[in-house]
Structures are given as structure tokens and as C-alpha cells.
Amino acid sequence: MFSRYKVILILLTLVIVAFVLFLLFRPKSPDEGKFVEVYIQLSVARTKLQDDPAKLEAERKRIFSKYEFSQKDLNRFIKFYQKHPEKWVNLWEKITQRLSELIEKEKTHPSR
């Protein structure tokens, strides 16, 4: 027959194991910084290359490769944020800030 202490020890061990498994397998928040850069680069490419689908697709592939990101990652990121809408505000603030930085950089150092 188990003593009360053995039962408590077994239950405590099970709770700790369950918590560790939860931490290991919970969905992770995607990398916002990487998403911001990919989103901005894709938006710029869409604007510049909207009349040339082949070049646009090549540029999309280049951007995904550069940032080690994929369409699947992008879809997963969007799905995560759809489940956590309260996080969108912070994300859009980062996108707006990064776009402002790029605009200022373009004003001071126009590309040729």
C-alpha cells in the first residue's frame, strides 16, 4: 500500500513532467522582427513589380531565401496572430516604425 507521501511525490512528479512537456510543445510566438522585414520587402516588391509577375515571383523567392522564411512560415505567423488579435497593434507599430526608417533613409540616401 502506498503511503500518503509516495502518492504526493508521484502526483508532483506528474505535474512537473506535464508542465515541462507543455513548455516544450506549446506554439511559439513567431519572430516578429523577421516577419516585419519580410512583410515590408514583399510589399515593396509588390508595388515595384506589380506589372511583371515573373520578376515578382523571383523577388518573393529571393526575399524568403534571404530571411530564411517561407510562405508556410508566413501563413503560420498570420494564423498565430489571428488567434492573438491583441498582439496586432504592437506588430503594426513595428511595421510603421520600420517603414518610416526606410523612408527617411531613402530621403537622405536616394537609391540610384
Contact of 40 with 99, CB cutoff 8 Å: yes
- Where b means 16+ CB within 10 Å and e means fewer, 98-108 reads eeeeeeeeeee
- Is 70 exceeded by the pLDDT of residue 36? yes
What is the residue-averaged pLDDT of the chain?
A: 86
Higher pLDDT, 19 or 36: 36
Sign for the CA dihedral angle at 44, 47, 52, 53 comes to positive
Residues whose CB is less than 8 angstroms from the CB of residue 49 and which lie 6 or more positions away in sequence, other chains included: 55, 56, 59
- Is 80 exceeded by the pLDDT of residue 30? no
Most confident of 56-60, 85-89, 90-94: 56-60
pTM: 0.66
Confidence of residue 28 (pLDDT cuts 50, 70, 90): low
In whole angstroms, what is the distance from residue 20 CA to residue 25 CA? Answer: 9
